[in-house]
Structure 1
Amino acid sequence: MSLSDQVKKNVYSKVEENGIEFIRLQFIDIFGVLKSVSITTDDLEEALNGNLMFDGSSIDGFARVNESDQCLVPDPTTFEVMPWRPSEQGVARMICDVYTPDGVPFEGCPRGNLKRVLREAEEMGLELNVGPEGEFFLFHTDEKDRPTFDIHDRAGYFDLAPIDRGEDARRDIVLTMKKMGFRIEASHHEVAPGQHEIDFKYDEALKTADKWVTFRDVVKNIAKEHKLYATFMPKPFAKENGSAMHCNQSLFKDGKNIFFDPDAENGLSETALYYIGGLLKHAKGMTAIANPVVNSYKRLRPGYEAPVNIAWSQSNRSTLIRIPNRRGSATRVELRSPDPIANPYLIFAVMLKAGMEGIKNKIMPPESVEEDVHNLSPKQRAELDLGHLPRDLYAALKEMEADPLIKEAVGAHTFNRFLEGKYQEWNEYAEQVHQWEIKNYLGKY
């Protein structure tokens, strides 16, 4: 029996053992939104054989009407029971790749796109591991279960119950994640009122992207059971910290972390420095992928533990890239700009592509900046020649257009559709008259 046949056999066994009746076939659109098609176990064989069609023209950024037929091909290794659903006639899920009817991977499938870039790394003998940090807010809901702008607590960093009123919800989220195979490293109340963080152990990039999609799904569903609404919106409150998806990443070769060099002064290998150099070079171009909505740029402001300038450091959290203190197999590069709403498949692909270019071309980064970047004077900033991340979505899209590597990383189809959709989003926002304008201009002019 082939490995593929054995994996499929395992799916059938789990279906029978857990009394599964419904299976959700999940995939993600180019803007990072989770989609799902539900089937019964009667259609499981057809699904595993890649014979289930859907209308791709109804999914943002996928296909035009005249080329709309597409196939969902589930990855049987992603089969997991959904613990919050009924135990009788239970529900499970598998994450899917999208194919054309001809059996060819669809070029606009984010998961398939990450696989393509990972294969490029494999050709260099490299494996990317990623460990994201998951931040989100919890809000009250109204009598119709709709989210309200009423935060559920006023706690702060590392506070406990009864001040942290989300502790029960967070505990149940963690327990549910563990049932779905996650290894949880930490969970706690974050800095802002109503803000929480759950961190799970790093893994190979594709598995981590799948886990991130699952994590967001679990958080929202368990919050709902507690009559709360979970949002991954980057910046709900103007005067509070926003939510991020800090991406801790490392490269392994022949089972060893090649970012670590015990003989180097700071424990960082030349490969790690080149990787950092690639990330810094393409920081502006990747920003629209990492920070994909108008609200993202309300988070990227000085004073809220979010990066603004393009710099790296050994430890200080005000820079775009931070190198956590641990060395050996735990040596890693932390990119601090991505939002939790970013499409994980696309941002991981872009990070890896930029880092690989740094390695191939031996792009050495500038000196690290250990001072708090936000407190530097204009003169000090000028002396350090610090670049600045785009200040809004429009500027980020322009930087993305100007960086050929981003197009290579996400593919022409996704690149063009992403820009098209996000320019439309920006234009809709820019045409609105906001309450701030009414307040400041109506009675003055």
Structure 2
Amino acid sequence: MTLDVPAPPTAPAPAPAPAPAQGLTARATHDGVKFLLALFVDLTGKPCAKLVPVEAADILQHEGVGFAGYAVGALGQQPSDPDVMAIPDLTSYTPLPWVREDLALVHCDPYVEGTPWPFAPRNILKAVLGSTELELFAGAEVEYFLVHRDDTGRLTPADARDTDAQPCYGARGLTRMYDHLTDVSTAMNTLGWGNYANDHEDGNGQFEQNFAYADALTTADRVITARYLISVLAERRGMTATFMPKPFADRTGSGLHLHLSLWRGGDPLFPGERDHGLSGLAHQFLAGVLEHAHALQAVLAPTVNSYKRTGAVSTRSGATWSPRQPSYGGNDRTHYVRIPEGNRIELRGADGSANPYLALAATLAAGLDGVTRDLDPGATGARTRPDLPPTLLHAVDALAADPVVSGALDAAGPGVAAYFGELKRAEFFDWHGTVGSWEHDRYLTAF
């Protein structure tokens, strides 16, 4: 829930991550790196990697490293398909001395037989970004829980003293997790991400660590890297970091709030003279996001568990902090889109399970549709649109019926939206086919 630090409306666009002056081998050798994590994610956001020794860095840079795509998971391949070759993006090179002094990470673009693989989320975002002359900049609020899981599978906050009814911003709870939080903060700042706040969130065991906004691709890479860093550093202290949207039924869930703005040639396009200090273009973009909100939720909230968060009525703290309708307003966190200041909008529909590449690609496509069609978002604060989808199944149905959001998933090649939809339908029915304690408690002796 921490505010993203904005740039003033007249400030120049933040510079994207610079391309390294040296090749991968030279850069790794200079940093004392002996191994490289060549990493990409599948459609669910699962991080996949191979550990490449520095001696093979030139091969990695020029030829990539091969993966059996079907074994990766949700990447649109069958066992008989050719290898996926992960080709590194050198601008994403990231030393990881907090994990291992001799380790670095590089994000990769998956290719198959020399062509960008259309089912790879990073390729999808790059394709959508390349479809417009406008530049999307984004900030992301990464929320997560630190938990323990006992032998029975029961989850508890990793901090046994974190029991306050309203723990948000609690100084003592924050201090008890000082070592973990400051390790993550130090890593972010050393990497130049501009960590500016770390706080205890509204749920017991829940935290948020913020970093500065950047171009959309860099921010998506950083969300994936941050999840990896947070998870590994938590494990070292015997904790599990989970980005699961709703790990506790009675506590606030974890969001991935996205702060968005459009730029052209270094100039911000959202500040203006209309409501909340926005420009006409910003209102059109906002209207497009609201118009496609139901389909967007299949991408922004892509798990069964997501709808335990957006459908929550109350929590121990008294608020859910998750939207139920596609509305917008000023500095009001009950809306789907909040406008904290006139240089950006905050999309609050995404949760901790969202794949950041897909989330940004789909949202950009929805917003640009609003610009193209000159849509009007309606009166500020109005809650006249139908409620957001109540389940993942409803969201997937909305996705299938929405050519704009489906088209964003198909931006790098056809068939991805349909594949993603079937993947998520199968997930829903897999969950629906299980029998749990709620049913035992309700039905075992009811008849």
Shorter-chain TM-score above 0.5? yes
**1:15-34 mapped onto 2 (5 Å cutoff):** 15-34=28-47
Give the match for residue 139 of structure 1.
147
After superposition, where does 1:5-20 map in structure 2 within 5 Å?
A: 7=20, 9-20=22-33
Deviations 1:76-113 (A, max 9, x none): 111111122333xx111110000112x11111111011
What's the secondary structure of 1:422's corresponding residue?
A: helix
Distance (Å, rounded) in 2 between the aligned partners of 1:183 and 1:203:
10
In structure 2, what residue type is equivalent to 1:46? I
Alignment of 1:1-400 (within 5 A): 7=20, 9-62=22-75, 63-87=77-101, 90-101=102-113, 103-122=114-133, 126-140=134-148, 149-151=155-157, 152=159, 153-155=162-164, 156-161=167-172, 164-261=175-272, 263-264=273-274, 266-301=276-311, 302=313, 303-324=319-340, 326-327=341-342, 331-369=343-381, 385-400=384-399
Greater shift, 172-181 or 33-42, is seen at 172-181
* Match status 1:401 vs 2:414: no
Letter in 1 for 2:84: Q
Using the alignment, how far apart are the partners of 2:26 and 2:225 within structure 1?
A: 22
Contact 2:203 2:252 in 1 (8 A): yes
Map of 1:421 onto structure 2: 423
From the superposition, tell whether residues 162 and 284 of structure 1 become closer, same or farther in structure 2 (CA, over 3 Å).
closer
The residue type equivalent to 2:106 in the other structure is M
Q: Note the C-alpha offset of 1:186.
A: 1.1
1:127 positional shift:
0.5
**Hey, what's the Cα distance between the residues in 1 that align with 2:58 and 2:266?**
36
Give the aligned partner of residue 375 of structure 1.
none
- Structure 2 CA distance for partners of 1:19 and 1:164, relative to 1, 3 Å: closer
Runs of 5+ unmatched residues, structure 1:
1-5, 371-383
Once the two structures are superposed, residues 379-426 of structure 1 have per-residue CA deviations (whole angstroms, 9 ceiling, x without a partner) of: xxxxx5332100011111111111111221011332122112111111
Normalising by structure 2, we get a TM-score of 0.89
Letter aligned with residue 286 of structure 2: I
How many Å apart are 1:224 and its aligned residue?
A: 1.3
CA positional deviation for 1:13: 3.0
SS in 1 for 2:127: helix
Matched residue SS, 2:87: strand
Deviation track 1:33-84 (CA, whole Å, cap 9, x = no partner) reads 1111111112111110024222112122321122231211000111111122
Of structures 1 and 2, the one with the larger relative CO (CA 8 A, separation 6+) is 2
Q: 3-state DSSP class of the match of 1:65?
A: coil
**Bigger mean CA offset, 186-195 vs 8-17:** 8-17
For residue 65 of structure 1, what is the amino acid of its counterpart? Answer: P
Q: Which amino acid aligns with 2:91?
A: T
Measured in 2, the distance between the counterparts of 1:265 and 1:304 equals 27
The letter of the residue matching 2:264 is K
Contact residue 75 and residue 94 of structure 1 kept, 8 A: yes
Change (3 A) 1:178 1:148: farther
Superposition deviation, residue 310 in structure 1: 1.4
Computed over aligned residues only, the root mean square deviation of the Cα atoms, in angstroms, reads 1.8
Quick check: 226-235 or 406-415, which moved more? 406-415
What's the offset of the Cα at 1:162? 5.6
**Paired residue secondary structure (1:67):** coil
Contact 1:300 1:308 in 2 (8 A): yes
Between the aligned partners of 2:149 and 2:35, the Cα distance in structure 1 is: 28
State the aligned residue count.
Answer: 414
The one-letter amino acid of 2:350's match is: P
Q: Report if aligned partners of 2:137, 2:263 keep a CA contact under 8 Å in 1.
A: yes
Contact 2:144 2:208 in 1 (8 A): yes
Please give the alpha-carbon distance, in whole angstroms, between the structure 1 residues aligned to 2:297 and 2:420. Answer: 13
Matched AA of 1:256:
D
SS at match of 1:423: helix
Q: Secondary structure at the match of 1:425?
A: helix
Distance in 2 (alpha carbons) for counterparts of 1:141 and 1:300: 24
CA–CA distance in 2 between the matches of 1:169 and 1:201? Answer: 20
State the Cα distance separating 1:17 from its structure 2 match: 2.1
Query: What one-letter code is carried by the residue in structure 2 that aligns with 1:297?
Result: Y
Q: 1:114, 1:349 within 8 Å by CA — same for their partners in 2?
A: yes
TM-score, normalised relative to structure 1: 0.89
